Amino acid sequence: MPTLQDVSQHYTHGNLVAAIRGGIESLGKTINSISVDDLAPVDEYHIGGRQASEDFLSQLDLTPEKQVLDVGCGLGGAARFVASRYGCHVTGIDLTPEFVETGKVLCGWVGLDSRISLRQGSALAMPFADRVFDRAYMLHVAMNIDDKVKLCWEVSRVLQQNSLFGIYDVMRIGDGELTYPVPWAMTAASSAVATPAQYREALEKAGFAVIEERNRRDFALAHYDQLRARIAAAGGPPPLGHHILMGRNTPEYLQNMIENISTGRLAPVELIARKL
């Protein structure tokens, strides 16, 4: 079972702001000219990046007056997308201090720090009052959280009645030993991957009704095919991309994810639930 310290250490880079600034300069831009879209390849740290965010978040009926919670916000890429696309105020929480601090810097670079608040903390004990949010979502988060019932209860606590909660996580969809390392865990001991049925059970115990479920396996495989083609055509990774976060393990992470998904063991899955 992954501990909070294990998870935070796994994602800590050490010099993320400088690495991202270097990527921006390689694009021929500056921190004064960078846009939310320019940052998406590095700061939307989930399978499919921006396209996945658009497909997933469009199901949450987001409008400017909504108070939105981003659970496990990482660098805040999805929060910046929501704030810029839908005009919402977004509050994000993430366990990794470096992600939160870097995310605040990036929000300042793109002029969204007045609409986005990022906090460091655990999704299992969030520093928010009851029923303060209208919407919540998480993208590739609970693979690091063993107690999914407690997670869902905590999200339920901070949501108003009839609110929507969207989940886009990598889930176990078939039998067989997983190949590690993967982006969220070096070994099975630090992974908490679960089946869609286990997610649904946790949601229902916490007072949610699942209203939509979508397996995105084919989308993921197409994404990886396109990613490999772009890297091959360019002779290497782009200036900004997930490789900045994954570091030297990037090729192994990608190879193992492709294997786990193509063999039918894992897939990214969307769940949309409503708080009853």
d(Cα 236, Cα 254) in Å, to the nearest integer? Answer: 14
> Among all chains, which residue has been given the structure tokens 């107690």?
147
How do the pLDDT tens digits run along the chain, 276 residues long? 667 776 767 776 778 999 999 999 999 999 999 999 999 999 999 999 999 999 999 999 999 999 999 999 999 999 999 999 999 999 999 999 999 999 999 999 999 999 999 999 999 999 999 999 999 999 999 999 999 999 999 999 999 999 999 999 999 999 999 999 999 999 999 999 999 999 999 999 999 999 999 999 999 999 999 988 888 888 888 888 898 888 888 899 999 999 999 999 999 999 999 999
**Edge-to-edge strand ranges of the sheet holding 159-172:** 116-120, 89-94, 67-71, 133-139, 159-172, 266-275, 208-215
CB contact set of 262 (below 8 Å; sequence gap of 6+): 221
Was domain 4-275 assigned CATH 3.90.320.10?
no
Task: Specify the pTM.
Answer: 0.95
What one-letter code names the amino acid at 46? Answer: H
pLDDT in the model for residue 233: 87
pLDDT in the model for residue 103: 96
Residues 143-171: b if buried by 16+ CB within 10 A, e if exposed: bbbeebebbbbbbbbbbeeebbbbbbbbb
> Among all chains, which residue has been given the structure tokens 């987001």?
62
SS (H, E, C) the chain: CCCHHHHHHHHCCCCHHHHHHHHHHHCCCCCCCCCHHHHHHHHCCCCCHHHHHHHHHHHHCCCCCCEEEEECCCCCHHHHHHHHHHCCEEEEEECCHHHHHHHHHHHHHCCCCCCEEEEECCCCCCCCCCCCEEEEEEECCHHHCCCHHHHHHHHHHHEEEEEEEEEEEEEECCCCCCCCCECCECCHHHCCCCCHHHHHHHHHHCCEEEEEEEECHHHHHHHHHHHHHHHHHHCCCCCCCCHHHHHHHHHHHHHHHHHHHHCCCEEEEEEEEEEC
**Under 8 Å between Cβ of 135 and 107:** no
**Under 8 Å between Cβ of 52 and 14:** no
Whole-Å CA distances, 40 to 32, 54, 60, 204 = 16, 12, 20, 33
Let me know the angle formed at the C-alpha of 166 by 163 and 52, rounded to the nearest 5 degrees: 140
